[in-house]
Amino acid sequence: MASKALSSSLSRRCFNPTARLLRNGPRPFAAAARRTLLEAYRPAIYVAGQRRAITSTARSRLAEAQESFDPRQQERESDEVDVCIVGGGPAGLSAAIRLKQLANEAGNEDFRVLLLEKAGELGDHIVSGNVIEPSALNELLPNWNAEDNPNRFEHVTAAKADKMRFLTKTMAIPIPKPPQMNNHGNFIISLNQFTKWLGERAEEIGVEIYPGFAASEVLYNSDGSVRGVATNDLGISRAGKPKDSFERGMEFRARVTLLAEGCHGSLTKQIVKKFDLRRDSQHQTYGLGIKEVWEIDPEKFQSGLVVHSMGYPLPSNTYGGGWMYHFGENMVSIGLVVGLDYPNPWLSPYGEFQKMKHHPLYKSTLEGGKCISYAARTLNEGGFQSIPKCAFPGGALIGDTAGFLNVPKIKGTHTAMRSGMLAAEATYTALTSTDEGSVFLYDYEDKLRSSTIWSELKTVRNMRPSFHTPLGLYGGVMYSGLEAYVFRGKTPWTLKHGKPDHAATKLADKCKKIEYPKPDGKISFDILTSVSRSGTNHEEDQPVHLQVKDWDKHAQLEWPKYKGVENRFCPAGVYEYVEDESKDIGVRFQINAQNCVHCKTCDIKVPDQDINWTTPQGGEGPKYVLT
């Protein structure tokens, strides 16, 4: 980069390097010039609202409207790296670590791997149960839990006992657990803690990690291949005008770009469409996972207990199930996953979760305890049939953004990590074999098909779609039992998924209305209380990142048919219909974007598909704890 551009950048921006050091620790492997450039760019965590714990700067005031000023015409600063990874979850971090392992082993210490994460800190946006199968972790970092390793990951609880229950309203009936759910040798963890630890291991070997940088645009070469990504502009008002805090986004150019955005990534959506990556696969189907972490009475704590349930409170035409994991010191992870192909628009996944906690199976554990954290996130449930082409010109999809979750096993961390490692190996081979031209990771596709990811998902491919039979829940349970114990994935057929999740929604007047009990404030809570436990925060004066072109038109389309389905499918109270006599339909559609926990349910489930989830300013959103 030209020194003049760098000098100009530093002269017009303010940055507190001490604050960054306190927040992220030293980065001994990043060159000083590169670090100065990147630190000159201020992620939104430094300018957004109530998270300004390390600065006393007042919230930026609005600049005067400049109708002729188009911020997109300003030149963006750029950085050149070998590999750019978007997303700091297990897949992205595993890819980054494996790349640097390969480069360092070859003596190629100048090989640059840069990882961008939209959350203010690694792990802030990550949600999972999580019972981890350590196979991929054992391969990536063999001494990850060794007693003689001073940096070992200590926050693990060995899974000691499994329980599977079918729930009626008052009973918990023991049922056999399928072989896939045997957790012997697995560990209960907080994926939030694990991701932070994995990030530290990545930095130790030279990965450049920049949390608070929200990649919002894909960059392309003249031949159409992916060139890298750009982060979003900062300091744009809600009306779309630049404020006096305006900062142009940065470009990160790379020969290979790996997308590890997690479920339904905003850039992944664009890439899948541009390169038609779903041409040979079925559509993706999704679930919404809602989770709380509780500190419970020590007398009720059973370290290593893993409990799964199905049935109540969900109706028989809705796929899903609950969990409760005892981990750490008197901690319990409890949650419910609801398949987003549910038909009744009156159903509220959040309301179902609150009901579930009052079932004796769960209430007996939670009573007398304290809820300390809340989170929600969608997950891919399509499995084998829904895996798209994962390589594209200039990059690849890895982890849950590609859809490697094993639904019957209720595990995806090990497959996400392994996909990242396979992509890293294919990437390093490709980049060290040629010095110029666009890169296509053919080897990654081949490695996936010969990996345990492929065989594991193929074996269970018919279990999730079996719940679309006319027998619903009971038919799915019976068929899944046959697959688990008899067929073992060797059947010559592959079942198809039903309608896409948004198209599965029926009209409100054709479905039974569901009334949810009022929360008691002890076991169950209102939605805003839960959102407050997610730590979510967005600067109010910025463009709404939940894009709806015409709010009035949206209301006219959705309200008469679905009577406010957005109110109910959102687990964060983002969407509302407010009575308004000035509107023809008597209500006004409203988006409370500040509440958003980045679960992306709206983008998936809205019937007319006119809500587009995009990234807000970097560093914003939830700040999860122990999720």
Tokens of 136: 């991929």
| Residues ≥6 apart with Cβ < 8 Å to 165 | 172, 173, 174, 175, 307, 308, 309, 310, 361
State the pLDDT at residue 67: 55
pLDDT at position 177 is: 84
* Cβ–Cβ < 8 Å for 496, 335: no
As beta bridge partners, residue 294 has: 332, 371
**Rounded CA gap, 452 and 411, in Å?**
14
The pLDDT, as a whole number, for residue 440 is 95
Is 596 labeled as catalytic in the residue annotation?
yes
**pTM higher than 0.85:** yes
Question: Which pLDDT value is given to residue 69?
Answer: 65
β-pair partners for 226: 220
Q: At what angle do helices 442-449 and 452-459 cross, to 10 degrees?
A: 50
Helices (H), 434-573: 442-449, 452-459, 472-482, 527-532, 551-562, 565-569
CA distance 112 to 423: 16
Per-residue pLDDT, 407: 93
Q: Which of 27, 227, 255, 377 is catalytic?
A: 377
Q: What is the pLDDT of residue 179?
A: 86
511 carries an active-site annotation: no
**Token pair 């090989």: residue:** 111
Phi, psi (deg, nearest 5) at residue 351: -65, -40
Q: What is the pLDDT of residue 345?
A: 98
Which one of the listed residues 245, 373, 413, 536 is annotated catalytic?
413
**What gap in Å lies between CA 586 and CA 580, rounded to an integer?**
5
What is the model's pLDDT at position 487? 86
The whole-angstrom separation of Cα 271 and Cα 268 is 5
- Name the catalytic one among 84, 371, 390, 602: 602
Where helices occur in 275-318 by DSSP H, the ranges are none
For this structure, is 14 an active site residue? no
Whether 602 is a known active-site residue: answer yes
Kindly name the residue from 128, 245, 257, 318 that is annotated as catalytic: 128
Query: How far apart are alpha carbons 419 and 447 in whole angstroms?
Result: 9
* pLDDT for residue 46: 38
Domains of the chain: 76-154+190-283+382-460 (3.50.50.60)
CA angle 37, 42, 47 (to 5 degrees): 165
What's at 318, amino acid-wise?
Answer: T
Taking only Cα atoms into account, the Rg of the chain, rounded to an integer number of angstroms, comes to: 24
| Annotation says 432 is catalytic | no
Report helix, strand or coil for 171: coil
DSSP three-state, residue 371: strand
Residues 503/606, Cβ–Cβ less than 8 Å: no
pLDDT in tens, 167-200: 999 999 999 888 888 899 999 999 999 999 999 9
pLDDT at 467: 86
Amino acid found at 276? D
Going by DSSP bridges, is the β-strand pair 286-295/331-339 parallel, antiparallel, or unpaired?
Answer: antiparallel
How many alpha carbons lie under 13 Å from residue 406 in its C-beta half-sphere?
Answer: 24
Contacts of 149 (CB under 8 A, 6+ apart): 143
**Pure H helices in 460-597:** 472-482, 527-532, 551-562, 565-569
- The active-site residue out of 84, 371, 390, 570 is 570
Concerning whether 57 is annotated as a catalytic residue, the answer is no
User: Catalytic one among 427, 464, 596, 615?
Assistant: 596
Burial of residue 373, with CB atoms counted within 10 A of its CB: 0-12 exposed, 13-18 middle, 19 or more buried = buried
Give the residue ranges of the chain where pLDDT is below 70: 1-69, 71-72
238-255 core/surface letters (b: 16 or more CB in 10 A; e: else): eeebbbebbbbbbbbbbb
Cβ neighbors of 516 (< 8 A, separation 6 or more) are 348, 351, 354, 355
Cβ(220)–Cβ(226) under 8 Å? yes
290 exposed, middle or buried (CB, 10 Å; 0-12, 13-18, 19+)?
A: buried
Peptide bond into 313 cis (omega under 30): yes
CA dist., res. 95 & res. 423, Å (int): 7
